[in-house]
Structure 1
Amino acid sequence: MRMTSSPVVGRDAELALADGLLSDARRHCGRALFLLGEAGIGKSRLAGECESRAAALGLPVLRGRGSPSGSGTPFRPLAEALSSRFRIGGPPTDPALAPYRPALARLIPEWRPATAVGHPEGVLDLAEALLRLLAVIGREQGCVLVLEDLHDVDSETVAVLEYLVDNLAGLPVLLVGTLRPQPGPALDLVDAADRRRAASVATLRPLKPGAVRAIAAGCLGVPGAGVPAELVERLVASGDGNPYLVEELLAEMVGSGLLRWGGGGGWQVAGDLSTTVPATVVRGYRRRIELLEPGAQEAVLLAASLGARFSVATLQLVTGTADRLLFAQLRSAVEAGLIVPDPGAPDRYAFRHALTAEAVLASLPPAERAAIARQAAVGLQRADPELTDDRCQLVADLRIAAGDLADAALLYAEAGRRAQADGLSGTAVALLGRAHELADPSARTGIAESLLHALADAGQLDRALALVDSLAPAGAAALGPDARIALHTRLAWVAVAAERRADAVGQLAAARALLQDGGTPQQGAALAVVECGLALLPGQGGCTTEAERKARAAAEVAEQTKLPVVACQAWQLLALLVRERGFDVADACLERMLAVAETHTLPLWRVEALTRLGANTYMRTGDIRRLEQAWEAANELGAIQLAQTAESVLAMNAVLRGDPRRAEEILARCLGASARMGNLGTRRYLLLVSATLGAHRGRRREMERGLLAFRQAGGAESQLTPVMLGLCRAVCALLEEDRTAARAELAAAAAWEALHPNVYYLAGRYGLSPLLEVLAGRAERADFAAVAANPAAGLAWNRQFLMLADAVLLGREGLGERAAGLVEDFRRHAVIFPTGHHLGLRLVAEAALADGWGDPASWLQAAEEYFHQSEVPAVVGACRAMLRQAGVTVPQRRSGRELIPAELRAQGLTPREYEVLALLADRPGNQDIGRRLCISPRTVEKHIASLLQKTGLAGRAALSRLSAELASADG
């Protein structure tokens, strides 16, 4: 008879679900399917059938599996899955994956470029990279990722899976996962995904009698009718509908002679089947082991202590057996039906089922099981004292099985510290937490200290605060004051990053209370940096002089005392604090930060410095080359979130440079990814970029949609508020020819800046606002000089408007020739930002016409042409009106008919009537429409009457509804 039944039986509904999801994946409608059930219920068979059906359809399949001995080995099933696909063909070469190769190298180290700087990529970096890889693999036909035994995976793998589950929609990927319903992070993930309908969950129930009969028939090699009814009854009663138990019971019955082949009579019952109960499965494995020669017996028992899957190398370390003899023993175990070669890895074996290893160990008395576990642990530690790879946690597990709890605690602690050093904070927290529970009192405090640092890295601030409060304040079990100060300082910095001011202040106070005689210079520097970070949080007063002094002193001390991370933090904060005194000063701080990062090989801090230097250069000159270099450095490092930060600045630059296509390209690439990765600060900035893109095209609806998303992401309470008011809303108002609204937005931005620390300088205070104030006659030469003296006035975006403000003042002062020369100089050198440039020409021409200087007609013609091409009708109308006022003949423009929907074109709507109709969605009055289009309210009234006649609509309200429908269709 066969050991297993070949077909999958009794799972028709689950197979139908899998077939539907496979079809969806081929249509780029990705989803996750989780198969949930007890051991032996058939999860692996069903997953294997999904693989077979996917392969038959031509879908690539990647396959990995969790392992009980590898729950502290980060990303093991993901690494296996990639290896299963790329082991022979090598790494993927698609150019779209180039930025993600460093992150994917976390799974396959051989993929890391030879020139790459070492950097522990974050879990989210890896998750996004894996998502992109799967999308590329499945681009043509779809693909399937099968991950088994998720109950045995590490917390980082669970985090990656959660990310995949939430972001598979729209991708050609089916994720199939199997797990037991045992408490843990994986089950929590599946339950949460099921509740929010983000994944399909199939809970495998016990098989019904008909399916049990089909399994027996498959194993016995006969039709279903050839299975004795008495046998089916016993299998149903004793097997609990579990396919694995059913098969094992059958094997035991045949092996013991209770079930015999009767030749032509088929299978016959030859004894009392009621004596065969599931417990005999354990005894049956014991008998199989006893049939092996002694060396093979020992090898199988030691292998079982290593888990359901084991590597030959690890087993050899435990047994000390030579290759040839060990493989002979393994062949004996294969022939006995105990183990099988692991198809996922050529150097590994697996017990025939997860329950097999458990049953083998359960066949032994407890004392013998403990002795075998201790023998395996001692053998591993003797052969590999450093316990390399994942063996540290494996030996810890063995020590637990042996009852050596104190030793296990120390090993879990070491494994946790290694995980933390690799940037795997989730695994570190889990391992150190277990170590803390098991440790003797004498070791618990030191482990608690490591656990606190891991919790800080993982952002689990509440748990960390509770733990630090529980530490013994004095005595032999207490941490020393220096260690406690370091912990409080670290937690304060985490609280600052989370914008939890009260917690940060509390931890700072706790740290300072422990300082003796003012503390060491290193302690003072670290605390000062946290206090400077507090000074930049929203809600803090605008004065930052004291924070700057403290940060500078802290940076110097940190460099002298070899605290490079503290030094980088301090120089970064200083670069923000000193911007008001000049970008040369800020850049000097960033150059120091860059030097520290490079000297001490801190790749993330290096990219951070490069990004900020690039952003400063672009603001000063409009040159983006250094910022692009920073973006490339982030990609080479695999620091995807830092790359997104650099690209967000490049997107804003594209908006200002009048390159909407590039801005839209970056937004399309980064907005969704930043949300998936929880890169909230960058996502918020990208949403503002999206709104600003609409604003700088004069499209209020697009701007308002972007600002709504920006506010929903917390933008209204962020430091980006003045940018939103001055660079976004004010410019949109100007492109609608609403100068009063623009000045109000700029005034609101200035009022915000007066009450808060400000790190953004393109919000109008040093450029656009002074120009409007000068045009309105509200600012004189002295006011202009005060603004121009500020270093922010030298930024390229601001400088163009200040040049024009200066020209207007010169014209009023009777120095028309100098004023005209300044405008011509502006025209030659200020073309970096075309929208700002032509808006400036439109504004300065008005003053030149009034005061009689320069060549306002040519300026207006240039602005009219630009804004006509950009489809900003209000400014076009204003330019044309001023040209007529100047006595210039203005030819009619009839272009724009292509923008009118075909049905309305057929009704005879003119471009101007369509412009009026487009503005009616917000139900403005005639005066407002006239102001936006630079026509009289009476003319607006005539256009509306014509619209009613041509469309046949009943009234103005109907026109407004039509306008809203057209806008919705365009959106």
Structure 2
Amino acid sequence: MRNTSPTTIGRETELALLHTVLTGLRDNAGHAVFLVGEAGIGKSRLAADCVGRAEELGLPVLRGRGSPTSAGIAYRPLIEALNSRFRVVGVPADPELEPYRPALGRVIPEWRHTAVPGYPESAVELAEAVLRLLAVLGRDGGCLVVLEDLHEADSDTIAVVDYLIDNLAGLPVLLVATLLPEPGAALELARGGERRRVASLAVLEPLGRPQVGALAAGCLELPVERVPAAVVDRLSTVSNGNPYLVEELLTEMVGSGALRADGDGWRVAGDLATAVPASVVSGLRHRLEQLDPQVRDLLLLAATLGTGFSLGTLELITGHGTRPLLDHLATAAASGFVVPDPTAVDQYAFRHALTAEALLAGLPPAERAVIARRAAEAILAADPALADGRCQLVARLRELGGDGAGAALLYAEAGRRELAAGASATAVQLLERAHGLAAAADRTDVVESLVYALAEAGQLDRVFALAESLPAAGAGALDIERRVALHTRLAWVAVIAERAADTLAQIAAARTQLGGSGDPRQTAALAVVEGHLALLPGHHGGATEETERLAREAAEVAEREKLPVVACQAWQLLALLARERGFDDADACLERMLAVAEAHTLPVWRVEALLRLGGNAFMRSGDARRIREARDAARDLGALVLAQHADGLLAMDALQRADFPAAREIIDRCLEPSARMRNLGIHRYLLLVAATVAAHQGRRRQMERELLRFERADDSASFLTPVLYGLCRAFCALLEENRARAVEELAAAAAWEDRHPNVFYLSGRYGLGPLLAALADTADRSAHAAVRAAPAAALAWNRQFLVLADAVLLGREGRGREAAALVEQAAREFRGFPTAHHLGLRLVAEAALADGWGEPVAWLRTAEEYFHEAGVRSVAGACRSMIRQAGVVVAQRRTGRELIPGELRTAGVTPREYDVFALLVERLGNQDIAQRLSISPRTVEKHIASLLHKTGSPDRAELCSLARALCGD
């Protein structure tokens, strides 16, 4: 007889679903399937069948499991799943995963050395990294991830799985999870995934009588029609269609002699009702009593630890060596109680969750408590520091042993450890458990820790309500220093979330505690929060000189008192305030921030400083090297959100340099991940850059489509609004030769900025707008001088237009030579912005023609050539029209013009002239050229004369040399 059936019975629909999704992975049709049902109903069997099918297809398989003992250990099921694969084949060396290695170090031990100490790990960043890893593993046909007992998983694992299922579509990944139908985060996750149609929810129903008979036949190894009807009836009635119970009951029938082998079949030899215990519990107890006492005691101890346990923990508690324990476990496995866990070398699990529960249920409560207490004390004696997750295990054992207060202290300590490791969701879970068990004397400390954990997890509404519940006075109250620190921390969280009312409330609470005095360390931290509050949109009063004075004092105090985080916050604030005076002051503050971060090993603040310094350098000079340095630092750190921030700035850099393919590559690579990770600020920024890429190519319809996406993602008064009007819409209007519309867009940007002062200076107010005003002869010299004196005039993008505006004004005043020199200066300095540079040439040439200065025809030819090649017909046509108005012949546009070298196109060489020019490489005479091109010698002579004039060659020999240089290949 078999302990289990060799085939899966009664699950044809679920098997078909899993098979369909598995085969669909070839087409990147990723999906998640949740198998939900009571213990023993067959979830694990279905998962095992899916694993077998995936292995037949040659797909990578990753398997992990939740358990009561690991529920307080962040990402434990994911760690098991990944290691179940990498322990065998090693970690992947794919270069695509390089940016994600630091984040993955949280769940892949071999990569933990890449993680940077001091970086607060983010569940969202880890989730995105795991998603990328699974995509790489499944690249050649798909991969399967199986997470069993998800209801026992920690909160951070649940958060990662939630992220994964929302983003599997389009990837070659199948995620299969099993869970009980009990209320909790896992079941809500499964139901939510089904509602969003990103997952399938398969609820396993009990087997019917025919299926129970088929299951029994598989165990008894005979055709179903030869299973005694009385056996099938009894199994169906008692098991209620639960496959595990069917197998256990059948084992009891055979073990008691009520069902005996008879030749090549089986017969009923006794009373099935009396042979089978009244419950599976008593049946398992009966089988347990047949074992050696040492094996029996080991199984009871293991059941106390949970459905899964490690050999190392048993060694720690019992003091026995590895060999005797392995022998005992081998006996337990042979008796059908436990099985080796496939996800870890030294891990074991009960054959079914009901097995451990049944064994414990057979023990008197007092005996269970004694076993749990002894196990807890043994672990504490062997490992007082409770390393490697043992803190949670001992807390659970103390709870089982009846010591709720002692368990609460350990749950709280475990929660604080997880919070320090960046697993805020798991920290909240553990601290909430501690809160429910804590003695009155310990509750305030637990609540304080829980408030910090909730703040880190972003659950701000709960944070502020729970903080209010802390006693204000009495034995259970926090001392003033801790209470002020708590309110200051919550004020910072609130101001970063732009919750001005909550920020004010927390500042007021802290000030009340200080009572008008207070430690300079405390007042410094509060001053920094108040300064950031003054920068929030619409905040009454705004930033003032007093704000800056207090922030500078706070920075000095923080550095003197060794408060590096407060110092970084203060210098960051001062840099923002200094931007209104100029970038030199702002950069000085950021350099100080960078120095503090490096001196105190604050990796996140270091990257923040590098990003801001890089952004300033890029805007001032067009040099993006420091942004790339910041991006590389963020990637080394595993800070995916900060890396996306840097990539967003690099996309803007590529846009301004008219490297539209590079900009699109960044947008395509980062747009979806930024949305998945809820990095909404950078997501909106990338959407605006995408719209501006279209605008700078004169593609209005595409621009409007992208702007619609931007507006849907940003329904608030965004600081990006003036950039939308100026850099995007106004620029597009100019490429359509619709100057009136461009002026309207720039006016809208200026009006918005008047209502919402900010330090984002690419709206056109300090560059493109003054140039258009100069062209329209509406520029006021004093107003223009004020613009030139503003810090924003130092930005390279703005400066190129201001130089041309100055040229227009000088030309109109009759100072043509100075005006032309400025145009040449702009050509030298701002060629790095080719679209803007050539648009500027087209605009300034108009004024030069009207006022009689410079070389407007040459500028127009240069601009026409650029915009013709770029496909911006309106500007190219306008340039040709102005060239004709100047009395100069315009080169015809014929097929093949794109083959002409740039300097010849700029000189006005036509396609037919270029045909003649190319044959001069062979030094052919006019007759030979005419014969090859099927034209008359006279026509060749005219083309040669034109080429000599346009290229400035003194004679035919020089023209032939030029042809060899340009066309020799």
TM-score (normalizing by structure 2): 0.91
Cα drift, residue 544 of structure 1: 4.4
Distance 1:812 1:897, change over 3 A: closer
Cα drift, residue 549 of structure 1: 2.6
- Counterparts of 1:743 and 1:486 in 2: how far apart (Å)? 51
Report the counterpart of residue 45 of structure 2 in structure 1: 45
- Counterparts of 1:277 and 1:367 in 2: how far apart (Å)? 27
Distance 1:195 1:107, change over 3 A: same
- Counterparts of 2:575 and 2:234 in 1: how far apart (Å)? 78
Deviation by residue 1:727-781 (Cα, 9 ceiling, x = unmatched): 1111111111122221222222222222324121121121111111111112133
Distance 1:436 1:745, change over 3 A: same
Report the counterpart of residue 471 of structure 2 in structure 1: 472
Report the counterpart of residue 745 of structure 2 in structure 1: 745
- Counterparts of 2:843 and 2:536 in 1: how far apart (Å)? 37
Question: How do 1:562-641 and structure 2 match up within 5 A?
Answer: 562-641=562-641
- Counterparts of 1:480 and 1:20 in 2: how far apart (Å)? 61
Identity, % of aligned positions: 64
Cα drift, residue 276 of structure 1: 5.6
The residue type equivalent to 1:493 in the other structure is W
Report the counterpart of residue 924 of structure 2 in structure 1: none
- Cα contact 1:36–1:179 (8 A) shared by 2: yes
- Cα contact 1:43–1:178 (8 A) shared by 2: yes
- Counterparts of 2:344 and 2:585 in 1: how far apart (Å)? 57
Report the counterpart of residue 22 of structure 2 in structure 1: 22
- Counterparts of 1:278 and 1:100 in 2: how far apart (Å)? 55
SS in structure 1 opposite 2:549?
A: helix
The residue type equivalent to 1:239 in the other structure is S
- Counterparts of 1:151 and 1:62 in 2: how far apart (Å)? 18
Question: How do 1:934-953 and structure 2 match up within 5 A?
Answer: none
Cα drift, residue 482 of structure 1: 2.2
Cα drift, residue 14 of structure 1: 0.6
Deviation by residue 1:586-641 (Cα, 9 ceiling, x = unmatched): 11111111111111111111111111111111111111111111111111111111
Cα drift, residue 327 of structure 1: 2.1
1:827 equivalenced with 2:827 (yes/no) = yes
SS in structure 2 opposite 1:35?
A: strand
Deviates more, 1:93-102 or 1:702-711: 702-711
- Counterparts of 1:867 and 1:732 in 2: how far apart (Å)? 13
Cα drift, residue 543 of structure 1: 5.0
- Counterparts of 1:716 and 1:698 in 2: how far apart (Å)? 27
Distance 1:300 1:463, change over 3 A: same
Larger Rg: 2
Unpaired runs of 5+ residues, structure 1, are 899-971
- Counterparts of 2:353 and 2:511 in 1: how far apart (Å)? 54
Cα drift, residue 784 of structure 1: 2.1
Cα drift, residue 331 of structure 1: 2.2
Report the counterpart of residue 313 of structure 1 in structure 2: 312
The residue type equivalent to 1:288 in the other structure is R
- Cα contact 1:542–1:753 (8 A) shared by 2: no
1:288 equivalenced with 2:287 (yes/no) = yes
- Counterparts of 2:596 and 2:660 in 1: how far apart (Å)? 37
Distance 1:32 1:550, change over 3 A: same
Report the counterpart of residue 333 of structure 2 in structure 1: 334
Deviation by residue 1:520-548 (Cα, 9 ceiling, x = unmatched): 11211111121122222222366543333
- Counterparts of 2:805 and 2:248 in 1: how far apart (Å)? 90
The residue type equivalent to 2:437 in the other structure is L
SS in structure 2 opposite 1:271?
A: coil
Cα drift, residue 897 of structure 1: 13
Report the counterpart of residue 935 of structure 1 in structure 2: none
Distance 1:844 1:591, change over 3 A: same
Report the counterpart of residue 68 of structure 2 in structure 1: 68
Report the counterpart of residue 160 of structure 2 in structure 1: 160
SS in structure 2 opposite 1:805?
A: helix
Report the counterpart of residue 216 of structure 1 in structure 2: 216
Q: What is the count of residue pairs matched by the alignment?
A: 897
- Cα contact 1:151–1:180 (8 A) shared by 2: yes
- Cα contact 2:276–2:283 (8 A) shared by 1: no
Report the counterpart of residue 943 of structure 1 in structure 2: none
Distance 1:221 1:494, change over 3 A: same
Report the counterpart of residue 82 of structure 2 in structure 1: 82
- Counterparts of 2:535 and 2:709 in 1: how far apart (Å)? 24
- Counterparts of 1:801 and 1:545 in 2: how far apart (Å)? 32
- Counterparts of 1:786 and 1:385 in 2: how far apart (Å)? 70
- Counterparts of 2:766 and 2:543 in 1: how far apart (Å)? 19
- Counterparts of 1:728 and 1:773 in 2: how far apart (Å)? 18
SS in structure 2 opposite 1:34?
A: strand
Report the counterpart of residue 840 of structure 2 in structure 1: 840
The root-mean-square deviation of aligned C-alpha atoms, in Å, is: 1.6
Report the counterpart of residue 903 of structure 1 in structure 2: none
- Counterparts of 1:610 and 1:696 in 2: how far apart (Å)? 29
1:868 equivalenced with 2:876 (yes/no) = no
TM-score (normalizing by structure 1): 0.90
Cα drift, residue 330 of structure 1: 1.9
Deviation by residue 1:251-277 (Cα, 9 ceiling, x = unmatched): 11111111111224x211122222366
Distance 1:872 1:635, change over 3 A: same
- Cα contact 1:104–1:126 (8 A) shared by 2: yes
- Counterparts of 1:150 and 1:114 in 2: how far apart (Å)? 29
- Counterparts of 1:799 and 1:223 in 2: how far apart (Å)? 89
Report the counterpart of residue 186 of structure 1 in structure 2: 186
Distance 1:445 1:571, change over 3 A: same
Question: How do 1:150-299 and structure 2 match up within 5 A?
Answer: 150-264=150-264, 266-275=265-274, 279-299=278-298
Report the counterpart of residue 509 of structure 1 in structure 2: 508
Cα drift, residue 895 of structure 1: 5.4
Deviates more, 1:281-290 or 1:17-26: 281-290
- Cα contact 2:44–2:148 (8 A) shared by 1: yes
Deviates more, 1:225-234 or 1:567-576: 567-576
Cα drift, residue 416 of structure 1: 0.4
Question: How do 1:303-702 and structure 2 match up within 5 A?
Answer: 303-540=302-539, 543-702=543-702
- Counterparts of 2:118 and 2:451 in 1: how far apart (Å)? 25
Deviation by residue 1:362-381 (Cα, 9 ceiling, x = unmatched): 11111111111111111111
SS in structure 2 opposite 1:537?
A: coil
- Counterparts of 2:291 and 2:261 in 1: how far apart (Å)? 26
- Counterparts of 1:738 and 1:518 in 2: how far apart (Å)? 62
- Cα contact 2:25–2:171 (8 A) shared by 1: yes
SS in structure 1 opposite 2:89?
A: coil
- Cα contact 1:216–1:227 (8 A) shared by 2: yes
Cα drift, residue 314 of structure 1: 0.6
- Counterparts of 1:59 and 1:324 in 2: how far apart (Å)? 35
Unpaired runs of 5+ residues, structure 2, are 899-969
Report the counterpart of residue 12 of structure 1 in structure 2: 12
- Counterparts of 1:613 and 1:663 in 2: how far apart (Å)? 21
Cα drift, residue 716 of structure 1: 4.8
The residue type equivalent to 1:761 in the other structure is Y
Cα drift, residue 44 of structure 1: 0.5
